[in-house]
C-alpha cells in the first residue's frame, strides 16, 4: 500500500515510530564508502521531520556533500522495522535548533541553539516504508 501525504499526521506517524524504536541508524556516504551510525533525535516542527547532529562531526560534512540518506530502525519486538529515504536540508534557524533541543533536554549539556556546532536537518522527498514479518509493507511519502 502506498500513501501520499503532505500532512503533519504522516510525518508524526514516522516520528512516533522512530521514538518507539528508540535508536535509529542513518546511512550516509563518504566518497565510495558507506557510513552508518546511531541517532536518537527525531522531532516534527512545521510539518517537517528533523534530526540533530553536530556540525563538527564527519556525518554532518557527509550530509552536506551528499544530502541523500537512508534510515532504518527496528521496534523492540524485532519483527517490525522502518526504512526511510530522502534528502536532508540543514535548517540553521535558532527556532528549529531551540525546538529540537527543548524536546531533547539531555542534549543541552553538549549543544546550544546559539552555538556554532548545533545542526538540525529536516527531510525532503521523504519515503517511509513500514515493514513487518506478518503484514504487508506500507509506504508513506512525505
What's the pLDDT band for 40 if we cut at 50, 70, 90? very high
- φ, ψ of residue 75 to 5 degrees: the values are -65, 160
Predicted TM-score (pTM) of this structure: 0.92
Q: 2-141 maps to which CATH number?
A: 2.30.110.10
pLDDT given at position 5: 46
pLDDT given at position 1: 44
pLDDT given at position 8: 53
**Where along the chain do its domains lie?**
2-141
Q: How far apart are CA 65 and CA 85, in angstroms?
A: 16
The rounded radius of gyration (Å) of the Cα atoms in the chain is 15
What pairs with residue 35 in β-bridges? 28
Helix (H, G, I), strand (E, B) or coil at 96: helix
Q: Judge contact between 97 and 48, C-beta under 8 A.
A: no
Q: What is the pLDDT of residues 44-95, one digit of tens each?
A: 999 999 999 999 999 999 999 999 999 999 999 999 999 999 999 999 999 9
Q: Look-up: residue for cell 541523500?
A: 68
pLDDT given at position 3: 45
The mean pLDDT of 5-15, rounded to a whole number, is: 78
For residue 120, is pLDDT > 60?
yes
For residue 37, is pLDDT > 60?
yes
pLDDT given at position 72: 98
Amino acid at each position: 500500500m502506498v500513501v501520499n501525504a503532505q500532512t503533519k499526521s504522516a510525518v508524526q506517524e514516522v516520528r512516533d515510530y522512530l521514538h518507539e524504536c528508540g535508536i535509529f541508524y542513518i546511512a550516509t556516504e563518504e566518497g565510495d564508502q558507506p557510513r552508518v551510525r546511531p541517532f536518537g533525535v527525531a522531532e516534527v516542527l512545521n510539518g517537517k521531520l528533523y534530526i540533530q547532529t553536530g556540525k563538527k562531526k564527519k556525518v554532518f560534512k557527509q550530509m552536506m556533500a551528499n544530502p541523500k540518506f537512508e534510515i532504518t530502525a527496528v521496534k523492540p519486538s524485532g519483527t517490525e522495522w522502518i526504512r526511510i529515504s530522502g534528502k536532508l536540508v540543514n535548517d540553521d534557524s535558532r527556532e528549529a535548533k531551540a525546538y529540537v533541543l527543548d524536546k531533547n533536554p539531555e542534549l543541552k549539556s553538549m549543544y546550544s541553539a546559539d552555538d556554532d556546532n548545533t545542526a538540525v536537518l529536516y527531510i525532503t522527498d521523504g519515503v517511509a516504508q513500514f515493514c513487518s514479518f506478518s503484514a504487508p509493507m506500507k509506504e508513506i511519502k512525505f
